C-alpha cells in the first residue's frame, strides 16, 4: 500500500519504551502501574522516537484513511518505510522544531 503524508504537527522527542511482563505474567506492579522498560540501542543509550500528529492519504482503491489528525510515533528503527521517511524529515527540520521531551 502506498501511503503519503499530507501534514504533520506538534513533533516532540520521546524515549522509546515497551511494556514488560514480570515473572508471574503481570503487566502491573504492586502500585497498579504498568511495568515499562526503556529501549536501549547497541551502545546502551536510550532510543529516541518522535511523537507527533499526522494526516495521511493513500491512492489505493477501497482504502479509506481518516481525514483528521492522528497520533503517530516516527521511529528510525521502524520496518515501515513511510515511518522512517517521516522520522528523517522531522530530524532534518522539514516540519519545524522538535520539542524536548
Reported as a single tens digit per residue, the pLDDT across 42-87 is 999 999 999 999 988 887 766 666 678 999 999 999 999 999 999 9
- Judge whether 48 and 12 are in contact, CB under 8 Å: no
Hunting for cell 503481570 — which residue is that?
A: 26
pLDDT the model gives residue 23: 85
pTM value? 0.81
CA angle at 89 for the pair 88 and 93, rounded to the nearest 5°: 115
Rounded Cα distance between 86 and 95, Å, is: 9
Cβ(16)–Cβ(39) below 8 Å: yes
CB 99 within 8 A of CB 11: yes
Amino acid at each position: 500500500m502506498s501511503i503519503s503524508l499530507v501534514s504533520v504537527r506538534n513533533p516532540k522527542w520521546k524515549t522509546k519504551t515497551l511494556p514488560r511482563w514480570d515473572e508471574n505474567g503481570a503487566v502491573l506492579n504492586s502500585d497498579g502501574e504498568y511495568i515499562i522498560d526503556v529501549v536501549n540501542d547497541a551502545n546502551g543509550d536510550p532510543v529516541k522516537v518522535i511523537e507527533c500528529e499526522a494526516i495521511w492519504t493513500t491512492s489505493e482503491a477501497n482504502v479509506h484513511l481518516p481525514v483528521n489528525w492522528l497520533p503517530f510515533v516516527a521511529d528510525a528503527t521502524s520496518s515501515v518505510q513511510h515511518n522512517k521517511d517521516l522520522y528523517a524529515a522531522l530530524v532534518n527540520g522539514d516540519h519545524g522544531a522538535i520539542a524536548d521531551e
